[in-house]
Structure 1
């Protein structure tokens, strides 16, 4: 495996607050069932993906309340939340293998350059799976969540791209300047999701419309870009 470079947010210190992981009350949200990574074969080792840190869960509930002020019967759909490092590794390897399959390549025949390019692509959306307490994958802290929206009938709102999609469409602002009506709708939906989450204290991943975090290194790094004179410290490390 190629060694991915340290991402900017991973240079921030973590002052672990010791807040517990708690189960998400799934009756309050929409969920994918069975869990999408378990369907692929990921083994959670008896742990559940539907856990978050207590403060993050409270903020997520507030985000849904924000949503339902204007869309009373809409719900946040939780695609993924807590992710053990072992599952992070499984999904990194799965994504690498999927790219090979789509391009009709075999790992044994890859040139060093091909291998490096594919790993770079994989790591655009996947954090390195490691047990280093200084650089935990965001989802392994219990402070990150991958989400979308469903309407009053339970139908997913079209965001113009799939969660975990390896393409430019995953960028939150991909459709921002489109003049096509349908693509303008995609952007509107993404911004609605962004607004309700941000109002609850979350920050959105710069490259993924579906990924939001609160209290981890990525959140702190994004917050500090906005408020350099009032910096915050990450309070959630790996669990």
Structure 2
């Protein structure tokens, strides 16, 4: 059974933040303009570099987003919650919280806010995204469930690419959020719960970048 970020077991994981400041990802992991590289904790950066080195020639990781400010997380939660309320009149607060967490994490446990998660995909050497079954950031409704990592209704090529992505990232110590094939994290509460770590390494942080 899929564990969602709204599960009380996630928020119950102890947090011992080691205080690592955010760092900018090196250019080989993204194509952002200079000065706007995604920010993550150093432990995550190092594991992404390790994963990138395991990919076959001609296939590259492309990180779209890393650290997310609290205000941005709150806006995404509010916008998606509003979509769900419009589609499901009369939905109760508990069900709304549960369904919202399939796509965006509750603020207290949000891996992006901790600098502990990235949204990424695979590209070729020309920067063209490979087929992974549905667009990155598609909601469960927009993708008809194809955003789930284990979705059955995707092409054989997309399944091969998802398997390739998972092998590299999981091999480097990252964990996937099963409702989003593109979301991978290290050091956050969800990572700790799913790997059996005694505590999370990273909690919410502001954008203080290491020199």
Task: Report the TM range for the smaller structure's normalisation.
Answer: 0.7 to 0.9
Q: Secondary structure at the match of 1:77?
A: strand
The alpha-carbon distance between structure 1 residues 31 and 120, as it changes in their structure 2 partners (threshold 3 A), is farther
Map of 1:93-112 to 2, 5 A cutoff?
93-98=78-83, 111-112=89-90
Following the alignment from structure 1 to structure 2, what is the Cα–Cα distance between the partners of residues 17 and 199? 23
- SS of the aligned residue for 2:76 comes to helix
**Alpha-carbon shift at residue 80 of structure 1 (Å):** 1.2
Match of 1:169 in 2: 146
TM-score, L = length of structure 1: 0.72
The Cα of 1:23 is off from its aligned counterpart by 1.2
Larger radius of gyration: 1
- Structure 1 counterpart of 2:184: 212
Aligned-partner Cα distance in 2 for 1:56–1:145:
9
Report the number of matched residues. 196
Helix, strand or coil for the counterpart of 1:194? Answer: helix
The question of whether the paired residues in 1 share the 8 Å contact of 2:149 and 2:179 is answered with yes
Q: What's the TM-score, normalizing by structure 2?
A: 0.81
CA contact (8 A) 2:38 2:64 kept: no
Match of 1:198 in 2: 170
Matches within 5 A, 1:144-159: 144-159=117-132
What is the rounded CA distance, in whole Å, between the counterparts of 2:24 and 2:32 in structure 1? 16
Q: Distance in 1 between matches of 2:36 and 2:93?
A: 33
CA distance in 2, matches of 1:48, 1:141: 18
Closer/same/farther in 2, CA of residues 5 and 51 from structure 1, 3 Å limit: closer
CA 1:218–1:117: 2 relative to 1, 3 Å: closer
1:160 aligns with 133
For the aligned residue pairs, the C-alpha RMSD in angstroms reads 2.6
Shift of 1:5: 5.0
Structure 1 stretches lacking a partner, 5+ long: 34-46, 104-109, 130-134, 225-230
Rounded Cα–Cα distance in structure 2 between residues aligned with 1:10 and 1:23: 27
Runs of 5+ unmatched residues, structure 2: 206-211
* Contact 2:123/2:130 (<8 A) preserved: yes
Classify 1:87/1:219 alpha carbon distance in 2 versus 1 (closer, same or farther; 3 Å): same
Of residues 183, 197, 202, the one that matches 1:236 is: 202
Q: Distance in 1 between matches of 2:37 and 2:67?
A: 5
Aligned mates of 1:140, 1:49 — CA distance in 2: 16
Higher helix share: 1
Q: Does 1:76 align with 2:36?
A: no
Asked whether the equivalents of residues 77 and 147 of structure 1 are also in contact (C-alpha less than 8 Å), the reply is yes
Structure-1 residue corresponding to 2:38: 50
Kindly tell me: are residues 5 and 212 of structure 1, through their superposed partners in 2, closer, same or farther at Cα, counting changes over 3 Å? closer
Separation of aligned partners in 1, 2:40 and 2:165: 19
- CA change 1:119–1:216 in 2 (3 A) is closer
